């Protein structure tokens, strides 16, 4: 059985690294440290130019939960149009209501905006109060796949739920395990769940090429601004080999 490996990236630098290492699809993000946010328009356009494999843009306007205001949803619809006009292959979407059930109105609007593109529903499913009802809704609306850890912190801890999801959706929607996937556990996750695709970042850091550095001034979370997140080709290649 052939297994497709999706790699999430948050820089254009990582895209050719991931596809050369064996990725079959890219999830295009910014800010992987916060779980992945929407890429800029320029980043989307350049990714479409560079990629030789399908690229799906995550549509997530902010970090945190998946309860979105009407303004958030308007932003997400605009970002879907941006991804479409950039020439990307698909989008990765998700939204929940306050009670933890899928926000059907928001998701329907996003599906409509993405007409003609591939659609993945992201890990909002893992925060959903009725995940199997959500799967039925997504299948009935033509969503291609769901990225999920099986409601657990890591995919290898959610194997039993992932297996249930695969059995429920067989032939109608693909279940793509993700979160904590590595060369060490990818084969087990695929074998025990029956999934046919898997998702990971395989990220590492490289040192900045700056020769002048002011280490006192830092942006964001206070860590060094001179450690650059990038895809590690060895992790992707090792995962490919583990799944053969």
Query: What is the domain partition of the chain in residue ranges?
Result: 4-243
Domain 4-243 in CATH 3.20.20.380? The answer is yes
What's the pLDDT at 227? 87
What's the pLDDT at 214? 87
Look at residues 18, 17, 14 and name the one whose alpha carbon lies nearest to residue 30.
Answer: 14
Look at residues 83, 100, 101, 103 and name the one whose alpha carbon lies nearest to residue 92.
Answer: 83
pLDDT beneath 70, residues of the chain: 1, 220-222
What's the pLDDT at 221? 65
What's the pLDDT at 93? 98
Cβ contact 205:227 at 8 Å: yes
Tell me the torsion sign for CA atoms 225, 72, 77, 133: positive
What's the pLDDT at 222? 58
What's the pLDDT at 148? 98
> Whole-model pTM?
0.95
């Amino acid at each position: 059985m052939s297994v497709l490996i999706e790699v999430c990236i948050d820089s254009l630098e990582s895209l050719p690294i991931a596809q050369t290492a064996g990725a079959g699809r890219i999830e295009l993000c910014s800010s992987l440290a916060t779980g992945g946010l929407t890429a800029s328009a320029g980043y989307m356009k350049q990714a479409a130019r560079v990629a030789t494999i399908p690229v799906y843009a995550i549509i997530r306007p902010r970090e945190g939960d998946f309860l979105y205001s009407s303004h958030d949803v308007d932003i997400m619809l605009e970002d879907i149009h941006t991804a479409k006009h950039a020439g990307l292959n698909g989008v990765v979407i998700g939204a929940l209501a306050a009670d933890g059930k899928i926000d059907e109105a928001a998701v329907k609007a996003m599906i409509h905006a993405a007409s003609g593109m591939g659609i993945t529903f992201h890990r909002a499913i893992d925060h959903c109060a009725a995940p199997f009802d959500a799967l039925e809704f997504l299948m009935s609306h033509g969503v291609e796949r769901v990225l999920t850890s099986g409601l657990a912190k890591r995919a290898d801890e959610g194997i039993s739920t992932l297996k249930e999801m695969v059995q429920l959706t067989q032939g109608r929607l693909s279940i793509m395990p993700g979160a904590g996937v590595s060369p060490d556990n990818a084969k087990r996750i695929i074998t025990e769940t029956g999934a046919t695709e898997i998702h990971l970042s395989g990220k590492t850091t490289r040192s900045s090429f700056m020769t002048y550095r002011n280490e006192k001034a830092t942006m964001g979370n206070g860590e060094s601004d001179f450690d650059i997140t990038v895809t590690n080709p060895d992790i992707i290649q090792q995962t490919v080999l583990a799944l053969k």
